[in-house]
Amino acid sequence: MSRTFGLLCFLASAVGSPAAYPDPDTWPAFKIHVLWAKNSAPIAAAAGQVRAQFCKDFSVNCTVAPIPGKPPEKLSVFEDFGVLVPRSMLAGVLPWFLQHRITGIAGGDLELRVVPVVAWPPVERHDFEDDFLSLFSPQGPRHLLNTNAMVPPGIGGDHARTEARAIPQNRVVENTSWALTCSSDCDCYEPYAPGSVSCTGWNSPRVDGFHIHMFFPNNDANSAAGYTKLHEMMQARFNMPSEVCADNTGHEQDQDKLCFLAGPGGKEGEYPQNSSRSSFVTETHSVWLPKRNFTDVAAWILLNRHVSLPSGDVVSADFLLHPLFGCNFADHVLWSLHAGSDWPINFDGVAGEGGYFGETPTALDPAGGSYPWPLPPTQCGKVSDAKHWSVTSIYDSSDPNSTAVNTLFFKTLANELAAAGATGTITEYGDSWRDPSAGTAWMGPATQMVFPSEALPVVLPFVMAQRTAIGGNDFYVTLASHRGGGGCEFDDQRRGSMYAGPSTAPAWPLNPSAASAGRARSLHLTRPSGPVRNATCTRCLHTSDCPSYAFCPPFGPCCFNHSTASPKATQLPPPVVSPRGGAPAAYLLFYATPPNNGWGGAAMSNFTKLFADSFNAPAGGCVASGLDFPATLTPDYGSAGPCLFAFGSAAAQFPYMNAADPWPVSYGGVWIPSADLARTLVWIMEHRVAEVVGYDLDLRLVALPPKESTPTALREAYVEQALRAGTNWRLKQQPFE
């Protein structure tokens, strides 16, 4: 077993009751939804090639077929790219998709959503009705809507597959062949995986097992109780032995039975190791799952991971599942599936276990400075140069209720701006999310309001308080700097934005082609046939004949033109309505990283020093009037300006050792009086990224709750109403009770 990334985080959540569903042993089939940026020509072309290869490898008719009237006995394709899989075939088909979903385009891998069909006929809905029963990939951004079901026949993805066949050449940024090389303590077998010369392939008869890795913060009372009950239930249901199987000889040591899994000597660490070579970010518990048991166990744990406690609370387990292909990094990062919250892996640790020992974060780490995100045009400037900000929603335009909520939200926001003497400009992006020629950043129906940066103190508290009041917790919005359309929009949304949406969901994915007029720098994920090129890409001069960024010859043209065309915007008439409430007295801004990620820890120190120098606010400079955080979740630092709290203390570095601290990972805090919000937030958004501090830091912005707040109000402030950037860390429940 690898010291990797599975999780079982037992935290209270609002989920459906497992008792309402049929016995998972009777579930007749599964759906595999393949999702991607339909407004990116190269990614749509990649999806088309994957679809054609799937139909060839499994002798499936690629023509979209209606859902059959009885449970299926063979594979079939539905919607834009969905596959209906009979229960008996899941363990053989799923590994194929895991190894074929990688496109090599930065930010553009195909996303998988595996949804059980619990009864026949299945229910068709755009919002993944059984979302809490789903497995999904990859880490990070993911669709919250089934956009395949929203594409009329002949439009969007199908059109893209026939009209946009060319995929950009891969451009070597780093020799990443180590990621697809058999790990030193594993055995690998032919036939090998696509793009690899030594990882076991999906169709090898030697692929005989899977791992389930589960995370749980063991100092949370509900978490510990939920974990114990699930362990006992699983042991009884599958007659599992009481003794654990130990990984004594390697990361993926073969076992001969379904069993709970532990490290050498049968032991697991109580807390994450304080080492940059540890792969877990919280406590773990794992299972070795033989292929013959795969579907029965996977279906059972998807339903029963939602555990009812005697107290009446329902707690849910988050976990990662992957086949054993023998390549530690790829198995856990590229070829895995998740259930529940998408906790990140410690790239610093799992990359080392996979064979990477570079002095900077690997180019395969999206939070590192070497990851080849599409490059914005030079005219975008810095986030702090933005004269405007934007609020953007993504919603289901085919659902009348979702559309009505979206309309009400923006009308109410316009009223708020008008009452403050400001105006905004609304853009409806319509069907551009499924048009490869549109070049828009959104991968779903979107509405955007752009407003002057001076109105940020009005808009931000409105978004935090009224998003859930108007649209509920599932209503997804972003708040971002706005430096113009085109490639600037992608960069604003990737680096200069915060988001709010479902409590356990990550950010919505973006179209990487939007940054560069349909082109995206690509990751080199295959072993080079010749010497590795260490070419360095440089920025083109900003001239009339070279307006954008350079790629390194001979991997592509030096420069390419960039179009800034955008949908037509309409000016909102300023309505006359009284504003809602006002801003809180202050905000708490938390910046965070896993405690065992060396790159993240260095970035935390760099960020803190830069902030202290820029705001004349030394670390620990906040002085509380009364209790300090986390002894209270409503601290009063009373500072006339921004100040730093928590960073550097043992409590903030290892909060998983403190049951009263809601944070599961290392953090620091910034107290921001409302009057200083705009300038402070802009500075923080610009300085949290790897380009400045060496590694992306995660953010959570909380409007300071009143001291008399109820536990429910505290949770709303810290979870439902908070704005996030980066990982949406799942806070512990116990401190809110």
As a whole number, mean pLDDT of residues 228-253 equals 87
Do 510 and 441 form a contact (C-beta atoms < 8 A)? yes
Cis peptide before 554 (omega within 30 of 0): yes
Residues 6+ apart with CB under 8 A from 32: 82, 83, 85, 93, 94, 97, 112, 113, 114
- Quote the radius of gyration of the chain (alpha carbons, Å): 25
Q: How many CB atoms lie within 10 A of CB 231?
A: 16
pLDDT for residue 163 is more than 70: no
The CA–CA distances, whole Å, from 331 to 6, 154, 197, 664, 731 equal 12, 35, 15, 25, 27
In percent, the amount of the chain with pLDDT more than 70 equals: 80
Poorest-confidence range of 144-148, 199-203, 409-413, 628-632?
144-148
pLDDT for residue 529 is more than 50: no
414-430 residue pLDDT tens: 999 999 999 899 999 88
Task: Read off the tokens for 181.
Answer: 């090389």
CA nearest to 635, candidates 588, 700, 578, 580: 588
Three-state helix/strand/coil letters over 138-195: CCCCCCCCCHHHHCCCCCCHHHHHHHCCCCCCCCCCCCCHHHHCCCCCCCCCCCECCC
- pLDDT attached to residue 596: 86
Do 420 and 399 form a contact (C-beta atoms < 8 A)? no
- pLDDT attached to residue 563: 29
- pLDDT attached to residue 486: 64
The CA distance from 45 to 160, in Å, is 7
Give CA torsion, residues 610, 611, 614, 616, to 10 deg: -120
* Residue that has been written with the tokens 């810290």 in this structure: 718
Question: Quick one: which H or E segment has residue 390?
Answer: strand 388-394
Angle, helices 90-100/294-304, rounded to nearest 10 degrees? 80
The CA distance from 560 to 545, in Å, is 9
* Residue that has been written with the tokens 């990737």 in this structure: 494
- pLDDT attached to residue 271: 63
Q: How many CB atoms lie within 10 A of CB 687?
A: 20
In percent, the amount of the chain with pLDDT more than 90 equals: 43
Q: How many CB atoms lie within 10 A of CB 20?
A: 8
Looking at the DSSP assignment, which residues form a beta bridge with residue 314? 308
pLDDT, the chain, mean: 80
15-24 residue pLDDT tens: 457 777 889 9
Residues 6+ apart with CB under 8 A from 20: none
pLDDT for residue 567 is more than 70: no
As a whole number, mean pLDDT of residues 592-603 equals 91
- pLDDT attached to residue 551: 25
What structural domains does the chain harbor? Answer: 11-16+181-354 (3.30.70.1240), 27-167 (no CATH), 364-583 (3.30.70.1240), 586-736 (no CATH)
- pLDDT attached to residue 532: 25
- pLDDT attached to residue 610: 95
Residues 6+ apart with CB under 8 A from 514: 39, 40, 374, 439, 440, 441, 486, 487, 489, 490
380-394 residue pLDDT tens: 888 888 999 999 999
CA nearest to 344, candidates 724, 714, 737, 692: 724
- pLDDT attached to residue 130: 62
pLDDT top residue among 547 and 179? 179
As a whole number, mean pLDDT of residues 152-165 equals 36
| Residue 445: exposure state from Cβ atoms within 10 A (0-12, 13-18, ≥19) | buried
* Residue that has been written with the tokens 């950043």 in this structure: 441
The CA distance from 572 to 427, in Å, is 10
- pLDDT attached to residue 432: 85
- pLDDT attached to residue 197: 81
Do 324 and 252 form a contact (C-beta atoms < 8 A)? yes
pLDDT for residue 171 is more than 60: no
The CA distance from 396 to 708, in Å, is 38
Do 476 and 498 form a contact (C-beta atoms < 8 A)? no
Do 545 and 194 form a contact (C-beta atoms < 8 A)? no
CA nearest to 243, candidates 222, 227, 228, 265: 265
pLDDT top residue among 273 and 410? 410
Handedness of CA 367, 369, 375, 378 (dihedral sign): positive
Looking at the DSSP assignment, which residues form a beta bridge with residue 725? 699
The CA distance from 539 to 724, in Å, is 31
608-634 residue pLDDT tens: 999 999 999 887 789 998 999 999 999
- List, edge to edge, every strand of the sheet that includes 666-673: 570-571, 425-428, 446-452, 388-394, 476-482, 497-500, 723-725, 698-703, 586-593, 666-673, 643-645
As a whole number, mean pLDDT of residues 36-40 equals 87
Task: Read off the tokens for 166.
Answer: 């060319």
Task: Read off the tokens for 163.
Answer: 């009209």
pLDDT top residue among 303 and 650? 303
Name the percent of the chain in helix, strand, coil, to the closest 5.
Answer: 30, 20, 50
DSSP, res 20: G
472-485 residue pLDDT tens: 888 999 999 999 86
Strands 425-428, 570-571: parallel, antiparallel or unpaired by DSSP? antiparallel
pLDDT for residue 518 is more than 80: no
pLDDT for residue 328 is more than 50: yes
Strands 245-246, 425-428: parallel, antiparallel or unpaired by DSSP? unpaired
- pLDDT attached to residue 531: 26
111-157 residue pLDDT tens: 999 999 988 877 655 445 566 788 988 666 666 677 777 765 443 33
- pLDDT attached to residue 156: 36
pLDDT for residue 647 is more than 80: yes
pLDDT for residue 501 is more than 80: yes
pLDDT for residue 75 is more than 50: yes
